[in-house]
Amino acid sequence: TDGKKWLYAGWPTEAAAKSFGIPYKELENIIIGGIGVPGQELMKIGMKMAKGFKNAEWVHVWDTKGTDFRVKVDGRRLNIDDGFTSDEDYKVGDRGANLPAGELFIAPHETQGEGTIFSPITRDRMTDKLVTNVRLAFKNGKLLLNKTTADKNLDALISSFKECQAVDKKKYKPVRTMNVGELGIGYNPKIKKAVGYILTDEKVAGTVHVAFGSNNSYGGTSESTMHWDFVSAPGVNIEVQRLDGKVIQVMTKGRLL
C-alpha cells in the first residue's frame, strides 16, 4: 500500500455463497448486515472492551468447546477495528480498515503463551478447502503442528504451514511461521456465524481468534509469509491478569461485562 490508507470491503456474490456452502441470502445478511452497523456503535463497544484490557499482562480465554489458552500482551499496542482510521492510527502504521468492521486485536508476545484453540471452520491458505473442527495446541508461543487435529482437510492445513515455513526459512530470521501472531476478539452484533470467510468470521460477536505468523504491521515483531486466523466458537470467556496481579473477567459466555 506504500503508506496509503486502504479499505478492504466485502461483498456477497452467488459464487462466494456457493463456495461457503450457504444460501446467497445468508451471506448477504452476514456481510451487508455487518456493514450496516453504525461506526459510532462499533467504536463505543470497542472502547468499552479496550478498558478491560488496560494494563493487561496475560489474557486467558476458554469455552466449553475445547478452547483454553493464555497469551502475554503487556507492552503491546491494542488495536480497534471499528471502520475508522484516525490520524493516531496512521502515525503508528495502522493505515487500513475493514468492512464489515468490529474487532479488537493485539499482537501477543510471540514466544510466550500456551494452550489450545478450537476453531469450527477455516479456509486453507493454499487450496481454499474448508477445514473443519480444528484443534491447535501451542506452547511457548509456537504451534505444535504434530498435535493439530481436524475433522476435514487436515492434510491441506499442515501442508500450507510447511510450505510457508519453507519460504520463511529463506527470507526471515527468526522464522516465525508457527508463532502466535494475533489475539483478536470479535464484537459485530450483526455477525453471528462463521462460514469460512475470514473477513466476517473474525468479527463474529463473542468469539476470539488466534493467528499464527506475521504481526509486525500492528505492534508485533514477526515477519512471515503466513498469517492465518483461527476463530473460536461463539460464547467464550475472557479473563485478564493485570500488571499489578489483579485478575478481572471481561467476557462471560460471549457477553462483554
For position 95, what pLDDT does the model report?
Answer: 74
Q: How many CB atoms lie within 10 A of CB 210?
A: 27
The mean pLDDT of 218-224, rounded to a whole number, is: 95
Residue 36 has pLDDT above 90, yes or no: yes
For position 215, what pLDDT does the model report?
Answer: 96
Residue 26 has pLDDT above 60, yes or no: yes
187 within a domain of the structure (yes/no): yes
Residue 90 has pLDDT above 70, yes or no: no
Residue 40 has pLDDT above 70, yes or no: yes
66 within a domain of the structure (yes/no): yes
Where b means 16+ CB within 10 Å and e means fewer, 141-161 reads: bbbebeebebeebbebbbebb
For position 92, what pLDDT does the model report?
Answer: 63
Tell me the C-alpha distance between 140 and 153, whole Å.
26
Q: How many CB atoms lie within 10 A of CB 248?
A: 14
Domain range enclosing 219:
6-256
Sheet bearing 255-256, strands edge to edge:
142-143, 130-139, 114-123, 68-72, 56-62, 237-242, 247-252, 255-256
Per residue in 46-75, pLDDT tens?
999 999 999 999 999 999 999 999 999 999
**Who contacts 150 (Cβ-Cβ below 8 Å, separation ≥6)?**
131, 132, 133, 134, 135, 157
Dihedral sign, CA of 173, 228, 115, 109? positive
1 within a domain of the structure (yes/no): no
- C-alpha cell of residue 168: 520463511
The mean pLDDT of 138-148, rounded to a whole number, is: 98
| H helical segments located in the chain | 14-20, 24-35, 39-52, 87-91, 154-171, 198-201
Residue type, 5: K
How many structural domains does the chain have? 1
Residue 93 has pLDDT above 70, yes or no: no
For position 184, what pLDDT does the model report?
Answer: 98
122 within a domain of the structure (yes/no): yes
